[in-house]
Amino acid sequence: MKITDLEFHLVQRTHAESNGPKTPLLVRLSASHHEGWGEASVTWREDEPAARRNALLDVLVGRSMFDVEELLALDELREPSLRSAVEMACWDLIGRVVSQPVCNLLGGIFRRRVPLTIRIPSGPVPRVIQWSRELAGQGFHAQVIVASGRPEDDVRTLTAIRQNLGDHIPLRLDGQGRYDLETARDLCAELEYANLECFFDPLLVMELHELASLARQVNVPLGACRMLRGVADVFVLARLGAIPMAMIDVQHVGGLTAARKCAAVAEAAGLSASLSCSSWSGLGIAAMVQLAAATPALRTAHACDYHQLNHELLPDWPEVADGMVTVPQSPGLGVSPDRAKIERLRTG
């Protein structure tokens, strides 16, 4: 079946924290009477989508939707986030045409429920502690604390959460590249007894060798996410040998196929691998869940923001209970966006 049409929808952000300076882009790919959806976070101007859509449509129309690898090699999709969104829409489209969930297209379902680790929204220390307690009460027993940029606040927050929730809650700290080497080393020393599962991306310098150097100086397990741009970076991570965890951002590495390859390399190297996906609409999280369901190597909890599980754009979002999301078994990604709401939110 051939691709017949492509739509770009640049939409207003209702959750600014999820994308920072970037704007959500929804992608709709069509073949005959079928459609597939994907999403990305982009830095486009409002007048860009039309020209970009026309340029990409010229090379997509008439191509088989089943030739995913061939599509991913197109020069027009060299931007990782856009490549990820188009591939996501392509898998969703294929799944709808053949009446199969994406996990079946990626090798078959390995797990029917996927564990999640919820990112606590940033804010004043007392508010972060309150959010953590509330989300734990809703069953989210694995959590990611976003670094504040103030080491003393990070220590206070993690200490209080440990006191409130106990040692059985897996906690990660997302450093967001906020700290220089000396500050990060001192912070790790303060957090030695916080029982962290991992401290991701602590350094201002986004360089794997620098992260490995820090890892050899501290006792807190370190991990990489933003530094991983593809399979080659996971190879480097494995070769360095000091960093035990890789969190693979589906959009950052360029899509589901690239993320799956990264997970395979991580597993072969004995690294713990999990997924993350920048997602405004929830489509990205649905894609992440489908990939995790079909990939045995992705055993640990996968990161998402709370609002990504409750977005009104997806009325058919699957059940989330005890920090686990049930893998949708409807065709494609298993969820469908509300077209009327997309039109109301469009900016360009």
pLDDT tens digit sequence for 48-98: 899 999 999 999 999 999 999 999 999 999 999 999 999 999 999 999 999
Residue 109 has pLDDT above 90, yes or no: yes
Spatial separation of the C-alpha atoms in residues 145 and 123, rounded to whole Å: 11
Output the pLDDT for position 347: 66
Residue 311 has pLDDT above 80, yes or no: no
Q: Evaluate whether the domain defined by 105-326 bears CATH number 3.20.20.120.
A: yes
Spatial CA neighbour of 256 closest among 111, 76, 72, 78:
72
Residue 64 backbone class (left: φ over 0; alpha: ψ -120 to 50; beta: rest): beta
How does residue 18 score in pLDDT terms, banded at 50, 70 and 90? very low
How does residue 31 score in pLDDT terms, banded at 50, 70 and 90? very high
Q: Evaluate whether the domain defined by 5-99+340-345 bears CATH number 3.30.390.10.
A: yes
Count the neighbouring beta carbons within 10 Å of the beta carbon of residue 53.
17
- Tokens 């017949």 belong to 4
Spatial separation of the C-alpha atoms in residues 251 and 249, rounded to whole Å: 6
Residue 318 has pLDDT above 90, yes or no: no
Rg (CA), the chain: 20
Question: What mean pLDDT is reported for the chain?
Answer: 92
- Say which amino acid occupies 161: I
Spatial separation of the C-alpha atoms in residues 68 and 328, rounded to whole Å: 22
3-state class (DSSP) for residue 27: strand
- Determine which of 18-22, 36-40, 147-151, 306-310 has the lowest per-residue pLDDT on average: 18-22
**Domain-by-domain residue ranges, the chain?**
5-99+340-345, 105-326
- Let me know: does 118 contact 304? Beta carbons within 8 Å: yes
How does residue 19 score in pLDDT terms, banded at 50, 70 and 90? very low
Output the pLDDT for position 47: 86
Residue 274 backbone class (left: φ over 0; alpha: ψ -120 to 50; beta: rest): beta
- Say which amino acid occupies 99: S
Spatial separation of the C-alpha atoms in residues 88 and 68, rounded to whole Å: 10
Residue 219 has pLDDT above 50, yes or no: yes
Output the pLDDT for position 16: 44
DSSP3 helix / strand / coil % (the chain, rounded to 5): 40, 20, 40
How does residue 324 score in pLDDT terms, banded at 50, 70 and 90? very high
- Determine which of 16-20, 202-206, 330-334 has the lowest per-residue pLDDT on average: 16-20
Strands 171-174 and 324-326: unpaired
Output the pLDDT for position 156: 95
- Let me know: does 39 contact 27? Beta carbons within 8 Å: yes
- Let me know: does 228 contact 61? Beta carbons within 8 Å: no
DSSP state of 33: T
Residue 9 has pLDDT above 50, yes or no: yes
Output the pLDDT for position 198: 96
